Amino acid sequence: MMRKGILLFIMAVLVLVACSTDSTEKTSSVQRIKLTCKMAQGDPPCASLESEDPKVVAIVENAVANAEEMPGMLNYAAESILRISTGEEMDIYDLNLGSDREQPALLVKWPDTSTGYEIAIEDANRLREVFGR
């Protein structure tokens, strides 16, 4: 009887270990970002960029993750389109950075273009550096 109990306990532990995920090891699944300029206006003008550089990907991921939902209805013209690719999926956003380093940026995820997200000034300025704004 004691042997069956020990075997049952060991099997239970093995099942728990095999089925659990380690949430402390989170790695980025984003492989590529692509910014496509829609409006060649502004000072400096918007420019398109595509990158797989882990530093660039991390800056973009951080800015998107920290963006906060804005209240109210949106009235905007998209400055650029941001595509974030994981290899299997692609998230698409309208991104309005502008060049004013004292202003936040606007992020709007497709297909729900009625909900906007504000990217804080600090994150927006990092994006401006990456995208040459």
The CATH number assigned to the domain holding 35 equals 2.60.40
DSSP string, 27-95: -----EEEEEES---TTTTP--EEE--HHHHHHHHHHHHH-EEPPS-------EEEEEE-SS-EEEEEE
Mind listing the pLDDT tens digit for each residue in 94-109? 999 988 999 999 999 9
Let me know: does 105 contact 124? Beta carbons within 8 Å.
Answer: yes
- Nearest CA to 124 out of 94, 106, 104, 108 is that of 104
Let me know: does 74 contact 116? Beta carbons within 8 Å.
Answer: yes
**pLDDT exceeding 70 applies to what percent of the chain?**
74
In a domain, 12, yes or no: no
Give residue 17's identity as a one-letter amino acid code: V
In a domain, 40, yes or no: yes
Pairing type for strands 49-51 and 32-37 reads: antiparallel
Could you tell me the residue range of the domain that residue 65 belongs to?
A: 28-130
In a domain, 16, yes or no: no
Residues 103, 121: Cα–Cα separation, whole Å: 6
In a domain, 34, yes or no: yes
In a domain, 5, yes or no: no
In a domain, 108, yes or no: yes
In a domain, 1, yes or no: no
Domain count across the chain: 1
- Model pLDDT, residue 1: 58
Backbone angles phi, psi at 127, to 5 degrees: -65, -40
In a domain, 120, yes or no: yes
Mind listing the pLDDT tens digit for each residue in 37-76? 887 665 566 778 999 999 999 999 999 999 999 998 888 8
